[in-house]
């Protein structure tokens, strides 16, 4: 079968870039390296000219949907508009050309950006200490839980073996607990889809290290008992960690510290509009209490008089990134927050307004398992007899990126819709219209969708069975 890979578009000898001339005279590799260290065979890479490269990747991009091209209500992912000013900020030569090991005195502008962003995240969360180093949300989680681990180890409390995880949690939560050598124990929900406080009281004991809570949770429901939950944990000497994936629902409306959260992560690529880039890079900054602050990754940025400096927190867990973290994403988020100021609360208000509007419009046709106020996202189920997968693929033919489907796991045929604040009422009305129309479709018709996308449905089993992951 013919593929369309870049390598097929080349001819031996073609080049896509010209390098400067050698102005120092050639040093032959054979002279400076032992023969056995030298490569024998040329790697089979594309040999193409620049116009071919540009056309190839431009055409590939056209097979992709992004926020720029389509409404993208992917639950738990906060696919909001990415302001282009952030891209200008991240491409400013004075930052783009800065080497991470340049001494602090040579990077005062960059350190100041980091210090200010630490302050902004501290203000939004109410927590006093921040690290920007974790490179993604999942790594922010791991960093937080490793800090909890080290707190207990340094205090000689080696009986803390368990991390509690609600059944609605993102998959990264239990995986993180395992990676930090904790056992993950699942905790059930009450009738509102929230953590069952009675069950929590039964489960929490001297082996509990932490509870990982997401608020609003992945059903889009606010965990209204969070304060009480934190008290139960704190009485038992355990910590409350908050997964901040859903912070877009909280800006200026709820500060995690005031609900008893000890440590949390942010997804700068969700809440603070840094682009998702097809799956990364992100930034999973964390914020924590005074108690946990000494355990933050090395280094943190502090202000020392007129200067900004890197410091190693006293009981640091060490570093989680090669350098200081994804600085480009920090710049973007810093710029975004500066363009909003205290009006960040309006971001949350419009996000929650949009989600509740979709909930209200879909109710009656789609089932809404927790049909009360939702926050920035809403979980719905298709009418009986129709699969979430088929609705999702049908939406593609209507020009919409599907919502997250089959998550949260506690809701059968779940469709998790997160419109974000950057979408207009007209967009939501058209989207709801498409969903209502799809609900009337015959299942066998839907099963054919999509028919207007760059490809039809794929044989995913074949990809795994006959693994071919390279040219």
Partner 1 sequence: MLIRIDADGVILSGLGQGGVYRTLTRNRGYCRVSRFTPHTEEDVREMLDVIGVETLDDLFADVSPKFEGELDLPPALSEYEALRDVDRLAKENVSGFPIFLGAGAYDRIVPSTVGAIISRGEFLTSYTPYQPEISQGTLQSIFEFQSIISELTGLEVSNASVYDGANAVAEAALMTARLTKRDPKVAVSKGLNPRYREVIETYRVEVVELPFEDGTTDFSETPDDVSGVFVQSPNFFGVVEDVGASEAAHGVGALCVAVCDPISLAVLEAPGNLGADVAVGEAQPLGMPLLFGGPYAGYMATDQKSVRQLPGRICGETVDRDGKLAYVLTLRGREQDIRRAKANSNICTNQALTALAATVYTALMGPEGLREVAELSVSKAHYLAERLQASGFRLRYPEAPFLWEFVVELPDVKKANQALLDAGMVGGLDLGDGGMLVAVTEKRTKEELDAFVGVVADAG
- Out of 71, 107, 152, 160, the residue judged to bind partner 1 by CB under 8 A: 107
| Cα–Cα separations (whole angstroms), residue 291 to 129, 150, 211, 288, 355 | 10, 12, 17, 8, 36
Query: Encoding tokens for residue 451?
Result: 């028919």
In the complex with partner 1, the residue whose CB is nearer, 226 or 417, is 226
Q: Which stretch binds partner 1 (CB under 8 A): 200-208, 274-282, 411-419, 435-443?
A: 274-282
Determine the size of the site formed for partner 1 (CB under 8 A): 199
Angle at which helices 108-125 and 327-338 cross, to 10°? 60
Residue 65, interface with partner 1 (CB under 8 A)? yes
Q: Which stretch binds partner 1 (CB under 8 A): 154-162, 197-205, 355-363, 435-443?
A: 355-363
Contact of 130 with 346, CB cutoff 8 Å = no
Residue 432 CB contacts under 8 Å (≥ 6 apart), including other chains: 358, 361, 362
**Region 222-241 residues binding partner 1, contact defined as CB under 8 A:** 222, 224, 226-227
| φ, ψ for residue 89, nearest 5 deg | -60, -45
**Region 388-447 residues binding partner 1, contact defined as CB under 8 A:** 392-393, 396, 401-402, 404, 407, 421-425
Query: Encoding tokens for residue 309?
Result: 């400096």
- Out of 71, 118, 124, 438, the residue judged to bind partner 1 by CB under 8 A: 124
* Least CB distance to partner 1 at residue 307 (A): 11
Residue 289, interface with partner 1 (CB under 8 A)? no
Which runs of consecutive H residues, i.e. helices, occur in 287-343? 327-338
* Least CB distance to partner 1 at residue 93 (A): 6
In the complex with partner 1, the residue whose CB is nearer, 81 or 412, is 81
Residue 264, interface with partner 1 (CB under 8 A)? no
- Out of 328, 382, 394, 408, the residue judged to bind partner 1 by CB under 8 A: 328
What is d(CA 466, CA 461) in angstroms, rounded to the nearest whole number?
9
- Out of 160, 265, 276, 398, the residue judged to bind partner 1 by CB under 8 A: 276
**What letters, b where the CB count within 10 A reaches 16 and e where it falls short, cover 349-373?**
bbbbbbbbbbbebbeeebbbbbeee
What is d(CA 146, CA 157) in angstroms, rounded to the nearest whole number?
14
Task: Print the binding letters for residues 137-176 with partner 1: x by CB under 8 A, - otherwise.
Answer: xxx-xx---x-----------------------xxx-xxx
Q: Which stretch binds partner 1 (CB under 8 A): 53-61, 154-162, 199-207, 233-241?
A: 53-61
Contact of 226 with 417, CB cutoff 8 Å = no
Residue 100, interface with partner 1 (CB under 8 A)? yes
In the complex with partner 1, the residue whose CB is nearer, 160 or 359, is 359
């Amino acid at each position: 079968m013919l593929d369309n890979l870049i390598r097929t578009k080349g001819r031996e000898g073609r080049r896509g870039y010209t390098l400067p001339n050698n102005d120092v005279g050639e040093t032959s590799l054979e002279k400076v390296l032992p023969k056995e260290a030298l490569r024998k065979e040329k790697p089979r890479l594309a040999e193409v000219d620049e116009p071919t490269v540009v056309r190839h990747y431009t055409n590939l991009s056209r097979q992709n949907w992004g926020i720029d091209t389509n409404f993208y209500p992917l639950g738990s992912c906060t696919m909001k508009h990415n302001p282009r000013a952030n891209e200008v900020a991240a491409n400013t030569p004075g930052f783009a050309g800065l080497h991470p090991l340049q001494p602090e005195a040579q990077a005062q502008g960059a350190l100041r950006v980091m210090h200010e962003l630490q302050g902004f995240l501290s203000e939004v969360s109410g927590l006093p200490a921040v690290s920007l180093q974790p490179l993604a949300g999942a790594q922010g989680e791991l960093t937080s839980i490793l800090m909890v681990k080290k707190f207990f180890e340094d205090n000689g409390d080696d009986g803390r073996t368990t991390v509690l995880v609600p059944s609605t949690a993102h998959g990264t939560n239990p995986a993180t607990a395992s990676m930090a050598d904790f056992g993950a124990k699942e905790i059930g929900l009450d009738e509102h889809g929230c953590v069952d406080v009675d069950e929590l009281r039964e489960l929490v004991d001297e082996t509990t290290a932490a509870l990982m809570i997401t608020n609003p949770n992945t059903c889009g429901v606010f965990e209204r008992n969070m304060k009480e939950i934190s008290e139960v944990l704190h009485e038992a000497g355990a910590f409350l960690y908050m997964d901040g994936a859903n912070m877009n629902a909280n800006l200026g409306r709820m500060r995690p510290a005031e609900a008893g959260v000890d440590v949390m992560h942010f997804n700068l690529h969700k809440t603070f509009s840094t682009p998702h880039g097809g799956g990364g890079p992100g930034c999973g900054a964390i914020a924590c209490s005074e108690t946990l602050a000494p355990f933050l990754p090395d280094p943190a940025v502090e202000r020392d008089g007129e200067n900004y400096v890197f410091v190693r927190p006293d009981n640091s867990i060490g570093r989680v990134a090669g350098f200081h973290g994804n600085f480009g994403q920090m710049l973007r988020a810093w710029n975004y927050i500066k363009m909003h100021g205290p009006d960040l609360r309006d971001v949350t208000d419009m996000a929650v307004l949009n989600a509740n509007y979709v909930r209200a419009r879909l109710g009656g046709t789609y089932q809404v398992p927790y049909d009360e106020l939702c926050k920035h996202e809403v979980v719905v189920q298709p009418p009986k007899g129709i699969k979430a997968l088929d609705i999702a693929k049908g939406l593609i033919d209507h020009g919409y990126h599907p919502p997250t489907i089959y998550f949260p796991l506690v809701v059968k045929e779940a469709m998790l819709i997160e419109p974000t604040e950057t979408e207009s009422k007209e967009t939501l009305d058209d989207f709801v219209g498409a969903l209502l129309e799809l609900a009337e479709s015959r299942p066998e018709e839907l099963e054919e969708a999509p028919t207007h996308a760059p490809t039809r449905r794929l044989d995913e089993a074949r990809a795994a069975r006959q693994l071919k992951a390279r040219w």
